[in-house]
């Protein structure tokens, strides 16, 4: 089925990512229908087409599918069964298969490893006994993470010398987990890229990411990497997207270590638009949100050309109270998500500044389509 302006995109999830996807769809003459369980979903504010229902509400999903031309999602924690069910009625991009691999940290790591790409050392953990064996194998310190449903550092426990393993496992609800060795990274980076239905591929320049208490705080592009490392990071993203036969935007989070013989290690894959590419709204020829819409509609991908050097800061929790001051800053592009409740670490908005420095060396050959 070919999709044209005037058609409706279905989006599962009503957070700020769904909101920015709906706004990008509107710019392309498309309508957006948001399906989300929470009444106060920020994405509900920007489109009249909405369904408030649970992700396992089969009737609501069927009705939703009948009202949209294509389905996508704003986060990977929707049940894979929901994506599979919707596939009976409408195209779903990224596919339910890509979602299944990337929403489980264990299958994701196994998949990345099968491509010959490095990750942190890891072992699956199903119970307290296997956690003890895993710690013996990986050593301390290590990070215990739930296989599913983690985000912004939620669902993680740090295992130090002397940490009690039983209580660490119980603190994560005794859910199936993965134990990872701690990577001594010097920098965290991400590659956000799109793959089209025709196999076309377009990556944005590599972004350097700083986290505060596991939540993304600041992004900078260029990431000031060696051209070699930047090239390897882009190639990793391309390889992953190709092997998943991916359609849409995906983000690959990576660690860079202080050893020129070791390439970037993949931390996780996000099968969706990603916080580390919010800068593309103001700082690139095509925003990641528009690019995602183009890809899922089977439309040509846009240029990922960057307008200048980028600094993006998240407004976390109370930082959003500075909005009035930020609005009066020269060159600050302020985005507010309209969330009523301010909680510590909650993503309330972001600010992008596009500088006028010369394009960095690493932009050459960076995977433009
Ligand atoms: N194996 C690891 N070694 C070192 N730091 C890690 C490791 N895993 C996670 N971290 C840190 O914790 C942050 C959040 O972990 P991540 O696996 O990306 O989970 P999520 O983003 O889903 O909460 C990472 O961005 C990184 O700063
Ligand atoms: Mg992460």
pLDDT in tens, 154-171: 999 999 999 999 999 999
Ligand 2 midpoint to CA 269 (Å): 8
Q: 229 burial class (0-12, 13-18, 19+ CB within 10 angstroms)? A: buried
Ligand 2 midpoint to CA 7 (Å): 33
Q: 45 burial class (0-12, 13-18, 19+ CB within 10 angstroms)? A: middle
User: Hey, whose CA ends up nearest to atom 11 of ligand 1?
Assistant: 214
**Which of 105, 184, 214, 271 to probe ligand 1 with, by most ligand atoms within 8 A of CB?**
214
Q: Which residue has the tokens 């990224």?
A: 94
User: Hey, whose CA ends up nearest to atom 15 of ligand 1?
Assistant: 153
Q: What is the mean pLDDT of residues 173-196?
A: 97
Pocket flag, ligand 1, residue 188 (CB < 6 Å): yes
Pocket flag, ligand 1, residue 143 (CB < 6 Å): yes
Pocket flag, ligand 1, residue 179 (CB < 6 Å): no
DSSP string, 16-39: HHHHHHHHHHHHTT-EEEEEES-T
Ligand with the closest atom to the CA of 179: 1
CA distances from 360 to 172, 257, 364 (A): 43, 21, 8
CB 258 within 8 A of CB 184: yes
Ligand 1 midpoint to CA 155 (Å): 11
335 pLDDT higher than 80: yes
Ligand with the closest atom to the CA of 153: 1
pLDDT in tens, 92-147: 999 999 999 999 999 999 999 999 999 999 999 999 899 999 999 999 999 999 99
Pocket flag, ligand 1, residue 257 (CB < 6 Å): no
Pocket flag, ligand 1, residue 149 (CB < 6 Å): no
pTM recorded for the entire structure: 0.95
Burial letters 146-155, b for 16+ CB under 10 A, else e: bbbebebeeb
Q: How confident is the model at residue 364 (pLDDT cuts 50, 70, 90)?
A: very low
Q: How confident is the model at residue 357 (pLDDT cuts 50, 70, 90)?
A: low
Pocket flag, ligand 1, residue 153 (CB < 6 Å): yes
367 pLDDT higher than 50: no
């Amino acid at each position: 089925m070919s999709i044209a302006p005037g058609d409706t995109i279905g989006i599962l999830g009503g957070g700020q990512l769904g909101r920015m996807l709906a706004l990008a769809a509107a710019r392309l003459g498309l309508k957006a229908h948001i399906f989300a369980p929470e009444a106060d979903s920020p994405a509900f504010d920007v489109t009249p087409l909405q369904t408030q229902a649970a992700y396992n509400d089969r009737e609501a999903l069927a009705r939703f599918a009948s009202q949209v031309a294509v389905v996508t999602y704003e986060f990977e924690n929707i049940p894979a069964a929901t994506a599979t069910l919707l596939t009976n009625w409408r195209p779903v991009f990224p596919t339910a298969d890509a979602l299944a691999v990337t929403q489980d940290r264990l299958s994701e790591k196994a998949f990345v490893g099968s491509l010959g790409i490095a990750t942190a050392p890891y072992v699956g953990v199903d119970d307290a006994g296997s956690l003890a064996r895993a710690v013996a194998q990986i050593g301390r310190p290590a990070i215990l993470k739930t296989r599913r449903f983690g985000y912004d550092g939620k669902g993680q426990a740090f295992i130090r010398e002397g940490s009690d393993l039983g209580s660490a496992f119980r603190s994560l609800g005794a859910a199936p987990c993965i134990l990872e060795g701690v990577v001594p990274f010097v920098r965290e980076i991400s590659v956000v890229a799109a793959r089209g239905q025709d196999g076309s591929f377009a990556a944005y320049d590599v972004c350097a990411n700083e986290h505060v208490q596991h939540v993304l705080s600041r992004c900078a592009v260029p990431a000031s990497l060696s051209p070699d490392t930047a090239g390897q990071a882009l190639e990793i993203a391309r390889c992953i997207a190709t092997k998943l036969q991916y359609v849409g935007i995906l983000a690959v989070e990576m660690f860079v270590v202080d050893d020129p013989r070791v390439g970037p290690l993949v931390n996780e894959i996000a099968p969706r638009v990603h916080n580390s590419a919010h800068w593309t709204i103001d700082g690139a020829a095509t925003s990641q949100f528009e690019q995602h819409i183009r890809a899922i509609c089977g439309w040509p991908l846009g240029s990922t050309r960057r307008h200048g050097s980028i600094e993006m800061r998240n407004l976390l929790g109370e930082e959003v109270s500075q909005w009035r001051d930020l609005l009066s800053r020269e060159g600050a592009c302020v985005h507010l998500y309209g969330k009523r409740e301010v909680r510590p670490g909650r993503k309330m908005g972001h600010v992008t500044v596009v500088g006028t420095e010369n394009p960095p060396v690493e932009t050459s050959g960076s995977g433009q389509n």
